[in-house]
Structure 1
Amino acid sequence: MAVEDTLKPVVTEEANPNSTEKPIDRYHEEGDDAEEGEIVGGEGDGDVDESGKSAVPESHQLEHSWTFWFDNPSVKSKQTTWGSSLRSVFTFSTVEEFWSLYNNMRHPSKLAGGADFYCFKHNIEPKWEDPICANGGKWTMTFPKEKSDKCWLYTLLALIGEQFDHGDEICGAVVNIRGKQERISIWTKNASNEAAQVSIGKQWKEFLDYNNSIGFIIHEDAMKLDRNAKSAYTA
């Protein structure tokens, strides 16, 4: 399913009001000047349907359902078991539901330090222990403080729009808010599938026009070595 075909009818410029380059500009077609809510008729004068029936907006189904998760830093500091403060927020399965949620939630630059905000395929928990994530790993990009909003949106659009050649390998994405930086990571299923992982890393960089090198850390290595874990692949 092409993201251009599904997102165009419902996007608004509210998605990223602080950016001079609107994330959804490329989804608008030249000459499409109809205002929101305007009913556009066909060729010729035509007759107006006076039946009184209300038009039902078309719903654009996504290939997968996705769930937003939030790890609250104020609760996380008091937890006894890792992941016990992680909570699912909402599951969406249409383009309209995504924009309704995104336009009414805090973007990364407005989240408190220590917060983790996830968007994962439905029925996959964003935990190393989840059976689907257990043998995988993650690609990570870093950003200065309050500079990840646009890239977070572009990452979400690439995920839900199935823009990756190896999209079946993807579990979801997370943005981590830390003291001096923000990090966005894409989690995948099978770390041993080098070709698929490298393809995902390279495509992600292209989608975001990200020029720095990024590394892929295997979850198992991260669990054993923590911050000393080395990148298995780079892109």
Structure 2
Amino acid sequence: MVAENGSSTGSSVMSSWDNEDFCNDINNDNSYGHSKIQNDSIQNNNILVVPQSKPSPNDHLLKHEFLLSSFVKTPEVEWDNYEHLTTPIAIFKSWEQFWRVILHMQRPTEIKSRCYIHIFKDGIKPLWEDPGNVYGGRFMITYKKKDTLADLHWEKMLLAFLGSNFHDSLISGIVLSVKRNNLVISVWVNDANKREKLNNLVFDLKTYLDLDDDTRIRFMKHKEDTFVHCF
């Protein structure tokens, strides 16, 4: 893949690994600095394989620190426990850290478990009630479960969000929702009342993702939990 600045960023952004073999490799390599909670999420949820490393002096630092976390929905799990059962997976501060993490994630269309994957600016929880989200809302694009456009769009949104050059002051995080019959990519914003800025974001989002006229983007305010507009 080639980054927007023309530099090479590696091969496929998200790829599946053999979980057992790869866990054995990183368990024998202290340089990864991975935590027990990360190993637990790998073994129990079978979603992510995340080797964690510290940024090196030569890394290309991001404008913000970002937290990657996940929530896995099972019949035994109640929505009331969302915050408690959301698992922190990795914090990354540089592009190099980001690629080490993302290269070991499955593509959205490859994830079988019903789950939610969040990437937020560090300090903002993936909760409507968080101070960074409470007055905001979210834009949502829905895909069929095996629509590979979701893979491409998720990758592009990650790059735009982390690059901090895509409505950075407005966007607090992005969420991938893997549901029973579809996939949803959500862009969370911190202020649902800045209509002009929201309209500009939607226009740029459609252009950046090259969405066709039939693709609808829904917007919902966190406080009201109702659809306000469909673009």
The two structures share one fold, judged by TM-score above 0.5 = yes
Residues 143-169 of structure 1 deviation map (CA, whole Å, 9 limit, x = unaligned) = 1113211111111011011232x3111
Pairwise CA distance, 1:87: 1.6
Q: What pairs with 1:65-76 in structure 2 (closer than 5 Å)?
A: 65-74=65-74
The answer for the alignment partner of 1:191 in structure 2 is 192
The answer for the alignment partner of 2:151 in structure 1 is 149
Pairwise CA distance, 1:81: 3.1
Structure 2, unmatched stretches of 5+, are 17-55
Pairwise CA distance, 1:76: 6.7
Q: Distance in 2 between matches of 1:78 and 1:126?
A: 17
> Is the Cα–Cα contact under 8 Å of residues 138 and 217 in structure 1 kept in the other structure?
yes
Q: What pairs with 1:41-80 in structure 2 (closer than 5 Å)?
A: 58-74=58-74, 77-78=77-78, 80=80
The RMSD of aligned alpha carbons is 2.3
Structure 1, unmatched stretches of 5+, are 19-55, 223-228
Q: Which amino acid in structure 2 is aligned with residue 230 of structure 1?
A: F
Which protein is bigger by CA-based radius of gyration?
1
The answer for the alignment partner of 2:216 in structure 1 is 213
Residues 76-124 of structure 1 deviation map (CA, whole Å, 9 limit, x = unaligned) = 7256534221121111011111111000122212223420001111110
Residues 19-39 of structure 1 deviation map (CA, whole Å, 9 limit, x = unaligned) = xxxxxxxxxxxxxxxxxxxxx
Q: Which amino acid in structure 2 is aligned with residue 73 of structure 1?
A: K
The answer for the alignment partner of 1:200 in structure 2 is 201
Residues 168-195 of structure 1 deviation map (CA, whole Å, 9 limit, x = unaligned) = 1111000101111100000000101111
Q: Distance in 2 between matches of 1:73 and 1:113?
A: 8
* Cα distance, 1:183–1:76 mapped onto 2, change above 3 Å: farther
The answer for the alignment partner of 2:7 in structure 1 is 8
Q: Which amino acid in structure 1 is aligned with residue 4 of structure 2?
A: E
> Is the Cα–Cα contact under 8 Å of residues 198 and 234 in structure 1 kept in the other structure?
no
Larger mean CA deviation between 136-145 and 69-78 belongs to 69-78
Q: Distance in 1 between matches of 2:78 and 2:156?
A: 33
Q: Which amino acid in structure 2 is aligned with residue 15 of structure 1?
A: V
The answer for the alignment partner of 2:42 in structure 1 is none
State how many pairs are aligned.
Answer: 186
Q: TM-score, normalised by structure 2?
A: 0.73
SS in 2 for 1:157: helix
Pairwise CA distance, 1:72: 1.5
